[in-house]
Structure 1
Amino acid sequence: MQQEQTNWAIDVMLENLRNLAENIYALKSLKFQAIKEAFYFHYENCQNYRNYCDISGFSPDELNFFEDLSKIPLLPLNVFKAYKVLSVDESEITMISKSSGTSQKFSIVYRDEITLRRLEKGLFYVLDQLVSGFNKGYVAMLIPPPDESDTWMVQILSRVFPKYFEDGDYFIKGGELDFKGFLQKLMDPGTRRPRHLFGPPFVLLKIAEIMKKRGIALQLDEGSIVSTGGGWKMYEGNKIDQKDFRQMISGVFGVPVENVRDGLNCTEINTWMIDCRCFYKHIPPWLHVTIRDPENPEKEVPHGEEGLIAYLDPLSNSYPAFVLTDDIGRLAVAEDQKCSCGMSGPCLHSEIRRASGAESKGCALKLSQYLSIEGNGRA
């Protein structure tokens, strides 16, 4: 069994996040140290990544200041489709995650227990920013159970949600939505409060359309959150306006518009970013997000300009999570600034799209291919 080293900067950071919440300078220093240690570890233990760094002309000796983080060589997503990227022995891997695209080429990511334990701690922290109050309540999960889906979203949320919320149920089973069971559970006075909903946008949208058509409206609770887990980019070309979506969900479930939030993640990293009430995606303190020039990804664009989103995620022990995505976005709030919601730290703008020519991919796409929303006989 792996022995976790608790003196690593990332582990110290995860244990002390709540005490450091408003200490921007301490968090920035710990972030740099955590990413630096992660880089050293992967450089020494992942031969493919070390070769890539050597070819790129970057060595650990050049990582001395926070600004040097932009020099760390980034792995394009197609690397995870073509190569087995590992920094530990394969016998230590306990979760293998796949993300599909329209071409059916899979990104395959290997995670060990150290990575997963750090991920859990990080996601608990992120959920605490979303779900206020002592009672975590009930979550209706509009995703399949883990024995029916190998998507990254299902894999990790089925591991974390039962530990975080007091109660919860899956309402996608056998590829079908149990709409009747979903309504009954939400309307049952014995269901724990507050009641929260989580699911891909296309599932929540279809449920909202069914409810409007049937004249059904619910009134959830003070503190109830309706959260989507990304998947907006699959609608490009037939774009759903997120503001209209929030208004519709607010109306049928009786929650304030600001309680309809979206989350962002990709299979190749281990961190979730979730909307605040102002609908900016807050970047947790350990994650470094950098926006790159699509024509020259080694170059950062000026703050506020659009470019390719790249992540440096030190939560990963089993592989180097230094990733260049094919998503286009921009930073709305800088590292040393405060969001209009009152929280400190950097944020991504909610408008994120695929780079031109990039395939549609991700958990929402994969789930949409699996699910039958209508005509299931249980609605």
Structure 2
Amino acid sequence: MQNIPFYEITTVDAFKQAALQVFRKQYSTNDTYRKFCGLLSIKKEEIRLVEQIPFMPISFFKEHEVLSSSQPVQTVFSSSGTTGSTTSKHFVTDLSLYEASFTECFSQHYGPVTDYTVLALLPSYLERTGSSLIYMVDHFIAHSKKPESGFYLNDLEKLAKTLKKLDEKGEKTLLIGVSFALLDLVEKYEFQLKNTLVMETGGMKGRRKEMVREELHELLQKGFGVNQIHSEYGMTELLSQGYSNGDGIFTTPPWMDIQIRDTEDALSSVALGKTGGINVIDLANVNSCAFIATQDLGRKLDGNRFEVLGRFDTSDIRGCNLMVL
């Protein structure tokens, strides 16, 4: 099969063939991933099916420089972390791949971002450097070409006035925010929005007590006067995103796939609909690692749909005693 850009993948067969090509490339060029495969006694020529590809623990992005490219690094995305904790670092050699991925991901799910005024409430992300989310949203704001689009760091009053004005005018608006900041907004101001898509990116970042999705969404739905709260599933270590329309069910683009591993045996998968650890194939990660075992718990549903149920620590994953380089 001829190599095609990941964003041109449209079928399951094309995805599988591309995933095997990316695996062979990364086995050959990514020292960290190849050593990990070696610890599992896995050889490149033995992998003939996508289901046989091993998933590297996401914690390796904290401990190693995960690269499958010899090109110069253009930027380093880093995760948020508590004081003294080790953060993940994603070395990106081609930002155009990230831009193509998040632009097409959003467009496939919601339509062109140019249709929206983009209002961002992401204080915890803006207060540090290296956020891949800020890079994505900043790109959305610039390309929306709407005068009201922008970041609203702590100016909740201005944001509330802008939201109400745009909604009353019938303007399609995207409000994307971190959970605690969205709660701060609805506690101070009342809304009845009809033309606004409200999207939470998860996480209280230590500002509030954590709460389950149902509780969070109920408070936000009531506060904004909307029927659904949308969600984004993304992370520092990925260049693609999943989106949820509010029911807790996420969908992935054609170049991204979710598989579920057994929490008792990290090298085994579980049946459709069963709970386990979330493994991600993200073919936009062609220059780092496309096969990642996350610390999220979830369920794979039919097609490209999955549900996120929570998180667990790597110390809780049994069968991972080999997974240290």
TM superposition score normalised by structure 2: 0.84
Task: State the Cα distance separating 1:329 from its structure 2 match.
Answer: 1.3
RMSD of Structure 2 on Structure 1 (CA): 2.9
Q: Secondary structure at 2:115's aligned position in 1?
A: coil
Match of residue 24 from structure 1: none
Aligned: 1:156 with 2:136: yes
* Partner residue of 1:351 out of 285, 295, 309: 309
Task: State the Cα distance separating 1:136 from its structure 2 match.
Answer: 1.3
Q: Deviations over 1:16-71 (max 9, x none)?
A: x6xx4xxxxxx11011112111112112212232232233222232332xxx3232
Task: State the Cα distance separating 1:138 from its structure 2 match.
Answer: 0.6
Q: Deviations over 1:85-127 (max 9, x none)?
A: 11223x52111011133451111110122xx323322322332
Matching of residues 1-379 of structure 1 within 5 Å:
8-9=3-4, 11=5, 13-15=6-8, 20=10, 27-64=11-48, 68-89=49-70, 92-102=72-82, 104-113=85-94, 116-132=95-111, 136-144=115-123, 149-163=129-143, 166=146, 168-172=149-153, 177-188=154-165, 193-211=171-189, 216-221=190-195, 224-231=196-203, 238-255=209-226, 257-258=227-228, 260-276=229-245, 278-331=247-300, 333-334=301-302, 345-355=303-313
Q: Tell me if the contact between 2:117 and 2:144 (Cα under 8 Å) persists in the aligned partners.
A: no
CA spacing shift, 1:347–1:106, aligned 2, 3 Å: same
Task: State the Cα distance separating 1:128 from its structure 2 match.
Answer: 2.5
| Aligned partner letter, 1:128 | S
Aligned residues: 311
| Aligned partner letter, 1:180 | E
| Aligned partner letter, 1:14 | Y
Task: State the Cα distance separating 1:251 from its structure 2 match.
Answer: 3.2
Task: State the Cα distance separating 1:280 from its structure 2 match.
Answer: 0.7
CA spacing shift, 1:156–1:133, aligned 2, 3 Å: closer
Task: State the Cα distance separating 1:269 from its structure 2 match.
Answer: 1.4
Task: State the Cα distance separating 1:139 from its structure 2 match.
Answer: 1.2
| Aligned partner letter, 1:156 | M
Task: State the Cα distance separating 1:226 from its structure 2 match.
Answer: 0.3
Q: Secondary structure at 2:20's aligned position in 1?
A: helix
Which whole-Å CA distance do the structure 1 matches of 2:199 and 2:192 have between them? Answer: 16
CA spacing shift, 1:356–1:53, aligned 2, 3 Å: closer
Identity of counterpart residues, as a percentage?
A: 21
Task: State the Cα distance separating 1:356 from its structure 2 match.
Answer: 7.8
Task: State the Cα distance separating 1:264 from its structure 2 match.
Answer: 0.9
Which whole-Å CA distance do the structure 2 matches of 1:30 and 1:153 have between them? Answer: 28
| Structure 2, unaligned runs of 5 or more | 317-325
| Structure 1, unaligned runs of 5 or more | 1-6, 21-26, 335-344, 359-379
